[in-house]
Chains A and B, each alone.
Chain A
Amino acid sequence: MEEVGFNPEELLKEGVADFVWLKENYKELQNKFAGKYVAILNEEVVGCDGDYYGLLELLGSRGIDSGRVLIKRILRPNEILVYNV
């Protein structure tokens, strides 16, 4: 039983829908936001910045809860991210 006001199912469905939208529109997003961090909510970019912490500040100034959005860095067209743990 989850606490009142916390609905993980709704938050997850929202997050997964935004993630699918990000993947399906990646090339278009690359044209606009390559090398930047984007915040996505309800299948829309609600903020972007080249600085991760700058993006958090921007979201705060717009009254958007950073816990609600999906944040990803958009890779440049010829960039590959390898974690190499």
Chain B
Amino acid sequence: MSRINLIVCDDPKDLSNVALLRSIRGSVKIPFIVDTGSPSTLIPYQKVLELNLLIKDFVADEDISLIGSRHKAYRFPKKILFYFLCSDGKYIRKEFDPIVVKPVVSNRDVLAGNVLTDMIIGLDFLLDGNFVLFCDMKSNIAYLENRIPENGED
């Protein structure tokens, strides 16, 4: 079993770490937050652009309220590869089709200072990847544990 640490400092404000996203056209590093209050896993629109994926391939989904403003949600028809570093120094890889969220506002001045930089790992990802969340904030220990073979696909 592999564990992905979710606390990396002495005074954690959230359950977070860094992932690597990979498409056929590129890769990006992205901080992620595990949010058990979110039913879906969300990726910021501009990160998908940085992966050089084609906007025309997106399929509009329902709207989402996020960080205080309305976001348009899109489904991407092809899966994206997610990579996570485990506590043993190896990595795990998982294919997943997240929801891509784009702020409804189009004015760059309004948008500029309010861009989501993190990926939100929601319950769908935990369920699909058979992840178990362990969280003991008092002891400063939190991790995701899964049963995917090391360095292999699910």
Contact = CB atoms under 8 A, between A and B. Distances in A.
Contact of B112 (A8, A23, A50, A68): A50
Interface residues of B, number: 45
Interface in A22-74: 23-24, 35, 37, 50-54, 56, 66-73
Given A19-B18, A24-B9, A66-B28, A9 B67 contact: no
A73 B113 CA distance: 9
A12 B91 contact: yes
B127 to A, nearest CB: 16
Interface of A: 6, 8-9, 11-16, 18-20, 23-24, 35, 37, 50-54, 56, 66-73, 81-85
Given A11-B83, A12-B20, A67-B26, 10 more contacts: A6-B22, A6-B27, A12-B19, A15-B20, A19-B17, A52-B113, A67-B51, A68-B29, A85-B38, A85-B122
A-B interface, 8 closest residue pairs, ranked by CB to CB distance from nearest: A51-B112, A23-B9, A52-B115, A12-B85, A85-B38, A15-B18, A15-B29, A67-B28
